[in-house]
């Protein structure tokens, strides 16, 4: 749409605050935040941050349950030309501490559920970080609402295309999370593309249900699309299936994004067939593959169009989409066709474009590709080719009609319940466990999560660690969703002549007879 006034993310607050200020932007736990309030409170948040010394380019961190305040603070950070860095609340203390240190954030917003956890994190930091409580009182942390309401008027400068506006951390191949730098230019491209992509072209009268975490690109992008349209977001901070089903009917939800594990959970919830889905226009899904049986049952139950999205945080969530009309036959295994104006290809290891039917790495190029990884020049160079193609790490092929299919992973990454898990990160956590001489981690098929993390362990001579010992050890060092669900003991790991573990050999028995090699 040529006449769309929403060109950048902060236009959402300023334009809609001016033109549709009395309309509800965010509904959360019985409270309504209007567009006028979003604009005014995000101004106050910007003033608060500037008063605290935040400068353009600085990172501002968040840890906790999202609420309407998440949006106030995000747009406040953007108005201050700083960069918002929400942290995955499922991570362990050492992981959160690393992200705080890596980001260099001097302002840290925390919700009450994470006060004690944040205290543990801060106790191990080698510098002071101004910590602000959101939605509750703390004896040491400042009060967001009090500081916001007393903040001076902000100095608002026009956002610059090259400014980093959102930094989302992904799991790292070596165990260190990497901060994905998403810029105003990336999101301007996303906002323009949403009009051309099934599942993002929302309308001003639509209600959009937000269930994905706000440290996940699906949570942020669905939010930004709904708000850019001038629609109404209904935010649920926790995924509780009965509450989700209730919201479909009572809130007249038009659009929702669900990870496949969420869809499956809803379908198994008592009363799912008695809900009024008449207002539902689309269910979007992604983050991990979905089984055809679950998809067929969901389509029948919800009675609306289903849209699959394939992309990465590193591509601002963009990539390919499988439109409702294409949910048929063999295409149910496809991740769809490229977004309008984006380039997607299958490439060989040396960067040559491959033809239909040939298996190679899926690569994406366009204005939605990240600026790079924060403080990780080498990782950036390994991910983005000199000519701009971003390597997804997924192996796949394209058919004659231009539909893409994910076949396997070039990297050893596991996707469990929509979360990325790198074997090396889990192995690093396990190998310090008493009694463990060697270990390898693989993903195995799992009906609920798509893939489950499994550890293959060699015991040290004369020791007898149990599976429970190893799982508990890992959980103390990495997020619970990354820790192995099961452990198998063997005498020796298969390795090639150079000593590399042959994970494909370990995975092979578990994936035998399945149509693809990922869950």
Topology (CATH level 3) of domain 33-159: Rossmann fold (3.40.50)
Q: What is the pLDDT of residue 389?
A: 98
| Contact predicate 84/74, CB 8 Å | yes
pLDDT at 396: 87
The hierarchical CATH code for the domain 420-511 is 3.30.300.30
Beta bridge partners of 353: 347
pLDDT (0 to 100) of residue 172:
62
pLDDT along the chain (519 residues), means of 10: 86 97 98 98 98 97 98 98 96 94 97 97 94 96 97 94 96 76 98 88 95 94 97 97 96 94 89 96 82 84 94 95 90 91 94 92 97 96 96 91 84 80 81 86 88 92 92 91 94 73 85 69
Query: Where in the chain are the domains?
Result: 33-159, 420-511
Q: Are 417 and 383 in contact (CB under 8 A)?
A: no
Which pLDDT score, from 0 to 100, does residue 130 have?
A: 97
Q: Residue 414's pLDDT is what?
A: 86
Reference 23, options 222, 232, 228; nearest CA is 232
Give the per-residue SS3 of 43-109. Answer: HHHHHHHHHCCCCCCCEEEEECCCCHHHHHHHHHHHHCCCEEEECCCCCCHHHHHHHHHHHCCCEEE
| Residue 317, C-beta contacts closer than 8 angstroms, at least 6 positions apart | 190, 217, 218, 221, 309, 311, 368
DSSP H stretches of helix in 168-290: 184-193, 217-228, 241-250, 260-267
Nearest to 258 by CA among 293, 283, 292: 283
* Interatomic CA distance for residues 84 and 163, integer angstroms: 11
d(CA 237, CA 260): 18
């Amino acid at each position: 749409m040529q006449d769309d006034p929403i060109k950048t993310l902060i236009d959402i607050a300023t334009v809609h605050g001016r033109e549709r200020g009395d309309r509800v932007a965010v509904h959360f736990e019985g409270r309504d935040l209007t567009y006028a309030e979003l604009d005014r409170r995000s101004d106050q948040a910007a003033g608060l941050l500037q008063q605290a010394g935040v400068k353009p380019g600085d990172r501002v961190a968040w840890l906790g349950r999202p609420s309407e305040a998440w949006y106030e603070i995000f747009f406040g950070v953007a108005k201050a030309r700083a960069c918002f860095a929400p942290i995955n609340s499922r991570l362990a203390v050492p992981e959160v501490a690393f992200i705080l240190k890596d980001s260099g954030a001097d302002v840290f917003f925390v919700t009450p559920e994470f006060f004690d956890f944040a205290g543990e994190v801060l106790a191990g930091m080698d510098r002071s970080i101004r910590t602000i409580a959101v939605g509750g009182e703390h004896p040491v942390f400042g009060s967001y609402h009090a500081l916001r309401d007393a903040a001076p008027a902000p100095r608002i400068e026009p956002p610059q295309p090259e400014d980093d506006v959102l930094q989302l951390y992904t799991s790292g191949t070596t165990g260190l999370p990497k901060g994905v730098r998403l810029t105003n230019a990336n999101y301007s491209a996303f906002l323009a593309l949403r009009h051309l992509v099934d599942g993002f072209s929302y309308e001003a009268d639509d209600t959009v249900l937000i269930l994905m975490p706000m440290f996940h690109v699906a949570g942020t992008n669905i939010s930004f699309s709904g708000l850019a349209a001038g629609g109404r977001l209904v935010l649920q901070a926790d995924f509780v299936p009965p509450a989700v089903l209730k919201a479909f009917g009572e809130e007249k939800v038009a659009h929702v994004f669900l990870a496949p594990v969420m869809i499956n959970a809803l379908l198994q919830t008592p009363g799912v067939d008695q809900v009024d889905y008449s207002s539902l226009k689309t269910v979007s899904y992604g983050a991990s593959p979905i089984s055809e049986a679950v998809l067929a049952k969901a389509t029948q139950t919800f009675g609306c169009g289903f849209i699959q999205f394939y992309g990465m945080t590193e591509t601002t969530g963009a990539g390919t989409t499988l439109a409702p009309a294409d949910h048929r036959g063999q295409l149910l295994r496809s991740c769809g066709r490229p977004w309008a104006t984006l380039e997607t290809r299958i490439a060989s290891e040396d960067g040559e474009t491959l033809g239909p039917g040939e298996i190679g790495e899926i690569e994406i190029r366009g204005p939605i590709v990240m600026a790079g990884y924060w403080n990780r020049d080498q990782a950036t160079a390994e991910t983005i080719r000199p000519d701009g193609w971003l390597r997804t790490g997924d192996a796949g092929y394209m058919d004659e009609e231009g539909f893409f299919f994910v076949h396997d992973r070039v990297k050893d990454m596991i996707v469990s319940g929509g979360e990325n898990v790198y074997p090396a990160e889990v192995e690093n956590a396990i190998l310090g466990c008493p009694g463990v001489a060697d270990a390898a981690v693989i993903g195995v098929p799992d009906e609920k999560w798509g893939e489950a993390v499994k550890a293959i362990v060699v015991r040290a001579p004369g020791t007898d660690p149990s599976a429970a010992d190893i799982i508990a050890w890992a959980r103390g060092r990495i997020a619970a969703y990354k820790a192995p669900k099961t452990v198998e003991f063997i005498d020796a790991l298969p390795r090639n002549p150079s000593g590399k573990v042959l994970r494909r050999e370990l995975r092979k028995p578990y994936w035998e007879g399945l149509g693809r090699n990922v869950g």
